[in-house]
Structure 1
Amino acid sequence: MPEKNAENPSPEVRTLDARSLRGLAHPLRIRLLAALRRDGPATASQLGERFGESSGSTSYHLRQLAAHGFVEDAPEHGKGRERWWKAIHDGTRFDESLMYDENPETRGAADVFLQEIATIHAQETNAWLGDAVNWPKEWRRSTDMSDYTLRLSAEQSFELIHRMHELINSYRDLPPAEGAETVRVHTHAFPRRNGE
């Protein structure tokens, strides 16, 4: 999500419903939307080149994202016939009830969406590991790949997750510092049965 600042006082997050989830739940659409959110407006051709897809494919999926209210035209960037796209919201919130929806298509879309998010997180982590040697030491020591095993109730886990989110979001209020870079923060919390 973009940084919180005077022009963008708080990130605008869209909560998925069954219809919007089914419109988003495609690996390329999820990646296109993420790219527009992180890197700003782009054309179908630019995104196609970035993701190794034809501009026809990216154009089709961008139109689908637009039909479901995730992206819109960015005419201020266009020159001539170029069609530029931009994300409408800063982030997406997944409603866990979608995993238990009575419609099997919605449940399937929830599976696709969550699996793709997990894949993206793993790819981003692996990309960092492959490139870490090219970053200054102060950045390498300022990263984290920790894991913890705790004994919590579902209520305690819920509380922990929300406290982590509050802490992370409090950093959006900080003024830009010299040497600031975009930092990706992944959080994962899930129960595990013994022996798994």
Structure 2
Amino acid sequence: MPEPEERPTRVLDARSLRGLAHPLRMRLLSELRRNGPATASQLAAKLGESSGATSYHLRQLAEYGFLEDAPEHGKGRERWWQAMHGGVELNETLLLDPDPAVRGAAAVFMHEVSTVHAQELSTFVATTHDWSADWYEASDASDWTLRLTPEMSVELIAKMHELVNSYRAQALPEGTPEAEQVRIHSHVFPVRTV
């Protein structure tokens, strides 16, 4: 199986968004994308859920084309699942869709993404003592406030994405000494000043 960063990104449409916009489904998909194939029971134990719930939501993710069987892992009765894509991308037009169900699903999706980002950062902050001084110094939680036009904001986003994507070619294989998965969050949004 290719490394996660080599798998394509799936652009969400209204149907697939409704199939994914559920907190547990998003957590399951993220877990499979980041850590590879697993069974419903393994995922239930890791996420603190019942295996019945994880099994149901894994089947739903497969029905909407996010997961597939991982046949090289399944030898017994348990079904192994793997992610089909390296990531998902929300088409921003779904946030403005005339159908309130689609807009609601987009809002659930965006809320869950924000929640996961906050949880990941909080987990790192709470466990900094588990990391070497080198990794602590190699981490960052910065924020800036700039006055930009929408066009300038789009340009900034494109440049940030280009920079991050330039590191994909340098990504190291699993098992490389001192190399770890690194999460990079980007949030660019307007705020009211009055």
TM-score (norm 1): 0.93
Tell me by how many angstroms 1:165 deviates.
Answer: 0.6
The percent of aligned pairs where both chains have the same amino acid is 58
Q: Aligned residue for 1:190?
A: 189
SS of 1:151's equivalent in the other structure is coil
Q: Aligned residue for 1:154?
A: 150
In the superposition, relative to structure 1, how do residues 14 and 175 fare at CA in structure 2: closer, same or farther (>3 Å)?
closer
Q: Aligned residue for 1:139?
A: 135
User: Which of 150, 160, 163 is residue 159 of structure 2 equivalent to?
Assistant: 163
Q: Aligned residue for 2:21?
A: 25
Tell me by how many angstroms 1:175 deviates.
Answer: 5.4
In the superposition, relative to structure 1, how do residues 161 and 178 fare at CA in structure 2: closer, same or farther (>3 Å)?
same
In the superposition, relative to structure 1, how do residues 175 and 83 fare at CA in structure 2: closer, same or farther (>3 Å)?
closer
- Count residues with an aligned counterpart: 189
Counterpart amino acid of residue 191 in structure 1 = P
- For the 8 Å contact 1:3–1:172, the answer to whether it is kept is no
SS of 2:138's equivalent in the other structure is coil
Between 1:51-60 and 1:14-23, the stretch displaced more is 51-60
> Hey, what's the Cα distance between the residues in 2 that align with 1:175 and 1:51?
27
Counterpart amino acid of residue 194 in structure 1 = T
TM-score (norm 2): 0.94
User: Which of 82, 93, 98 is residue 102 of structure 1 equivalent to?
Assistant: 98
Deviations 1:80-121 (A, max 9, x none): 111000000000011110001111110000010000000000
1:1-196 superposed matches below 5 A: 2=3, 4=5, 8=6, 11-174=7-170, 176=172, 178-195=177-194
> Unpaired segments of 5 or more residues in structure 1?
none
> Hey, what's the Cα distance between the residues in 1 that align with 2:66 and 2:162?
25
Between 1:177-186 and 1:148-157, the stretch displaced more is 177-186
In the superposition, relative to structure 1, how do residues 80 and 127 fare at CA in structure 2: closer, same or farther (>3 Å)?
same
Structure 1: 4+ residue segments shifted above 4 A: none
> Hey, what's the Cα distance between the residues in 2 that align with 1:102 and 1:193?
25
Counterpart amino acid of residue 107 in structure 1 = R
- For the 8 Å contact 2:4–2:33, the answer to whether it is kept is no
Deviations 1:31-60 (A, max 9, x none): 000000000000000011111111111000
In the superposition, relative to structure 1, how do residues 113 and 166 fare at CA in structure 2: closer, same or farther (>3 Å)?
same
Counterpart amino acid of residue 136 in structure 1 = S
> Unpaired segments of 5 or more residues in structure 2?
none
SS of 2:167's equivalent in the other structure is helix
> Hey, what's the Cα distance between the residues in 2 that align with 1:152 and 1:87?
37
